[in-house]
Amino acid sequence: MPDSQPVPGKDFQDRLQQLRRRVPQIFIDPGTVLYIGARAKRHDYIEEFFAVGNVITVIEVFPRNVEEMRANQCVSKVIAGDVCEIEKHGLGKFDYVVWWHGPEHVTKKKAFPTIGKLEQMSRRAVIFGMPLGRVEQRKAYQNTYEAHRSFWYKSDWKKLGYRAVSIGRQGDMGSHLLAWKAIVP
């Protein structure tokens, strides 16, 4: 694993195991991945996706994170932009769309239409990760985009036609909600 990311802890490993078990195709049938939101010290599973042959494009809104991610050798392209305005970038389709610990950083009013746009961009699966329930977080490292602006529950995703599973207790720091949907042509 590159020096830019801390050694993964138990939460990282538990989430990776859950992801491998629930959405194995991204690890066994590689393709193109749109990964939303990343920084040098937090870009979970990019190395794992890359190691099995996925070609990764990142879209990130915070300028310092964009520059840091451009140095990541696992990423083929980094786009500076807001996922809620994804259509402005003319990106086309990807096999997999991954918004990992990001939906909570936008309001649900913005997230719901964005989720629909991301589904239209995916050929195989759309994958989301986020804290389970109300987990407060403010801006970090002068990045106001790091604040949590919404809180997500399994029921939110099930209403949208997603499968959803969790780790940890609702509302606890370190809790995790995985939601995914296979795209059927």
Three-class SS of residue 87?
helix
Considering the entire predicted model, what is its pTM? 0.87
Report the mean per-residue pLDDT for the chain.
Answer: 85
The least confident of 157-161, 166-170, 177-181 is 166-170
How many beta carbons lie within 10 A of that of residue 170, not counting itself? 15
At 71, the amino acid letter reads: A
Domain layout of the chain by residue ranges: 10-182
Answer whether 139's CB lies under 8 Å from 109's CB. Answer: no
The yes-or-no verdict on residue 129 having pLDDT over 80 is yes
* CA-wise closest residue to 125 among 1, 51, 27: 27
CATH H-level superfamily of 10-182: Vaccinia Virus protein VP39 (3.40.50.150)
Burial 36-74 (b: 16+ CB within 10 A, else e): bbbbbeebbbbbbbbeeebbbbbbbbbeebbebbeebeb
